[in-house]
A and B are shown apart, each in its own frame.
Chain A
């Protein structure tokens, strides 16, 4: 499976992406995630298994973030792996994704 979904509670779904996020699977990934994007239900996106991403993958993240704010719910992205974080930093997207430094350097 590309993603795994846990219903944390009635107001929140946790989606764990199981593979890398690249041009090869963004289309499928998007259609898999789309059904869980509903008004009023928050989503936590767990990227701990995403070891690799490319621009298309990052673009999808931007899109999801944009959708979430349009639909008025919170999208929290957690457990970003170093290699993906690297790209996010390079693209100056840390603010958009509200990255919280896990090592506790910056809260």
Chain B
């Protein structure tokens, strides 16, 4: 990959993230249309996408993003009202931009396909359709009434920013056209006067391709300094920019300083930035000056700022007094402030590299175990000590390495907001999505695998679960339906629940359908739970008519298969008229587990430690073992058990005289016991998947290599428990 390709990858990732951010912002706006910050963030997303797409010559994207940006800018300036319609259009715009990006990546040189072109046109028309009515405010300054009002406002406010732009000689060649920036600036406010200074020396040295222009602009706007500076963001390399706030702002800044949050940072520059009288760039430049002048006496940053006429002296003085006050008020808290995590402390890492790291850590765990095995017979205390401390380090490394791949599930969850919104609009339902436990973390690969099943389950709840507002009112429920998405940890697993307050599952309909499809026979006496779980069987849909969303009966079995492929389970519980709860249980990670090694008939097995409740001696009469139905009485509770050796080799002759142990395992609410010959203790286990030919093997999820080079099988506890329960 060359540099450009790399940049392209970064751009793609960034653009995707920006668009996701934009989507969630838009959804927030839907509930809270006046939130200026959110409007800003939508605008910024589009603006940045436009800018970076331009760098790669994705003209289609630039053109489209520009249209969207213009509309958003009008919204920002209050020239256009953001309403349901506009939000829908903007959401479509986001989708379209994604499509454009994909298209541009695949066919960098080609024209748009007709389909995309049509969509392009359609959206642009939609975007601008509303404009005709409200935008005359902005475009025709000559029209009498508006012009007068602005004139008066201008005189009253006298709040002109003074902007000095000196473009570098190379600006034109770098593709920077001052014209476009000034045109763009005009969209933020009114240019009161503009003085163009051209510094063309004489005929001999004049080069028409060099830029000799300087602008001094008096600018009237409500925007803050950062916004103005952002206008020139793309020119900042080829232009010296000085933005001097209007006099009237000084008063504002002083007032803002009075009310500055006392928990805020106590550095002068940060204070000034926080009240908006200084932009980050100003600060960087001032700091550079400070560093450059280190051979002379170092000036305080405040003085430099005053000298450069960036900040008024009064403001700096005020800020300094405020700073002192805060410092005396909270001397101890200073440290806390400094350790605040900064949002930009992330680096992008190729996930393949992380995978590699985790693989290596896995090997390290294995060879650590091997070393322990080798040194044990020698019983040398010093070596054992070293080995013990190394082992604990290795297990720390393992935890940290696994942590690297953990991502909070919230991001996935919030994507469903859009799904719920779109689908409920489409179906004419009023549905709210409640999310809890979004901070719960799990392995990225697991997150990716469950995205589809989750989407499917949620669509199902939307379509089948929650009824139309009318029906709901008739049932005496609130008009607005709710779907809850919960995530939480439970004994080494992640549990995700989808709870709706809809109509619940229709037991009779499911059973009838299942019988007619021949999935179960009439004589089967099924429990409620079993009936509910029938919806995960292939080819079963009770909905009379298949809709776009669901009802073809192909989805639910795929959902189950997908979840099971990451060693998870899905369960469904429902009560008619009250709602349905779908519970998905997933392992925390796919790579390494804390295991417990047992032995039966000279074969070693690993049981995930988190699932083990206790180990007891098997041989005693206390448990009143029933050898025929395989049930024991564990302190009053009946519990099924399996003899592992017998399970994996039914023909084997069990010797009765060995002292056996019973490992009690639990999955969810169900318990079972495994009878084994020996307990070997805890073992860090690197899961190696079994080959394809073992796909149909029941009771085993994988294997691991032990320190001595032997292979131990990892038990599928959940599968074994359900086997034991069935064979009572």
Which chain A residues border B173 with CB–CB below 8 Å?
23
| A59-B179 contact given A23-B172, A27-B208, A27-B209, CB 8 Å threshold | no
Taking a contact as CB atoms under 8 Å apart, the answer to whether B206 and A90 are in contact is no
Which chain A residues border B195 with CB–CB below 8 Å?
92
Chain A nearest Cβ from B198, distance in angstroms: 5
A to B CB contacts below 8 Å, 17 in the list: A23-B172, A23-B177, A23-B209, A26-B208, A29-B208, A30-B206, A54-B179, A56-B208, A59-B200, A63-B208, A66-B198, A66-B200, A67-B203, A70-B203, A91-B179, A92-B194, A92-B195
B-side interface residues toward A, CB under 8 Å? 172-173, 177-179, 182-183, 186, 191, 193-196, 198, 200, 203, 206-209, 211-213
A28 — nearest CB in chain B belongs to which residue?
B208
Interface string of A48-67 (1 = CB under 8 A from B): 00000011101110110011
A90 to B193, CA, bound (A): 9
A70 to B186, CA, bound (A): 34
Taking a contact as CB atoms under 8 Å apart, the answer to whether B206 and A63 are in contact is yes
| A59-B203 contact given A27-B208, A87-B179, CB 8 Å threshold | no
Taking a contact as CB atoms under 8 Å apart, the answer to whether B178 and A26 are in contact is no
Taking a contact as CB atoms under 8 Å apart, the answer to whether A30 and B172 are in contact is no
A29 to B191, CA, bound (A): 31
Besides A27-B208, A56-B172, 4 new A-B residue pairs in contact (Cβ under 8 A), listed by A number? A55-B178, A55-B211, A90-B179, A90-B191
Chain B nearest Cβ from A101, distance in angstroms: 14
**Ordered nearest first, which 9 A-B pairs have the shortest CB separation?**
A26-B208, A30-B208, A55-B178, A55-B179, A23-B172, A91-B196, A56-B172, A62-B198, A92-B194
* Residue of B173, B179, B211, B213 with most partner-chain A CB within 10 A: B179
Which chain B residues border A2 with CB–CB below 8 Å?
none
Whether, in the assembled complex, A93 has its beta carbon less than 8 Å from a beta carbon of chain B, the answer is yes
Taking a contact as CB atoms under 8 Å apart, the answer to whether B194 and A91 are in contact is yes
Total A-B contacts with CB atoms under 8 angstroms apart? 60
Taking a contact as CB atoms under 8 Å apart, the answer to whether A60 and B196 are in contact is no
Which chain B residues border A23 with CB–CB below 8 Å?
172-173, 177, 209
Chain A nearest Cβ from B224, distance in angstroms: 24
Which chain B residues border A59 with CB–CB below 8 Å?
198, 200, 208, 211-213
Number of interface residues of A (CB under 8 A): 21
A63 to B196, CA, bound (A): 13
Which chain B residues border A91 with CB–CB below 8 Å?
179, 182, 194, 196
Chain A nearest Cβ from B259, distance in angstroms: 39
Chain A nearest Cβ from B241, distance in angstroms: 16
Which chain B residues border A55 with CB–CB below 8 Å?
172, 177-179, 211, 213
Chain B nearest Cβ from A93, distance in angstroms: 6
| A56-B206 contact given A62-B200, A90-B183, CB 8 Å threshold | no
A90 — nearest CB in chain B belongs to which residue?
B182
A62 to B198, CA, bound (A): 8
Which chain A residues border B213 with CB–CB below 8 Å?
55, 59
Taking a contact as CB atoms under 8 Å apart, the answer to whether A92 and B208 are in contact is no
Taking a contact as CB atoms under 8 Å apart, the answer to whether A26 and B209 are in contact is yes
B186 — nearest CB in chain A belongs to which residue?
A90
A16 to B194, CA, bound (A): 29
Which chain A residues border B209 with CB–CB below 8 Å?
23, 26-27, 56
Chain A nearest Cβ from B165, distance in angstroms: 11
* Residue of B191, B195, B198 with most partner-chain A CB within 10 A: B198
Interface string of A86-102 (1 = CB under 8 A from B): 01001111000000000
Chain A nearest Cβ from B423, distance in angstroms: 47
Which chain B residues border A67 with CB–CB below 8 Å?
203
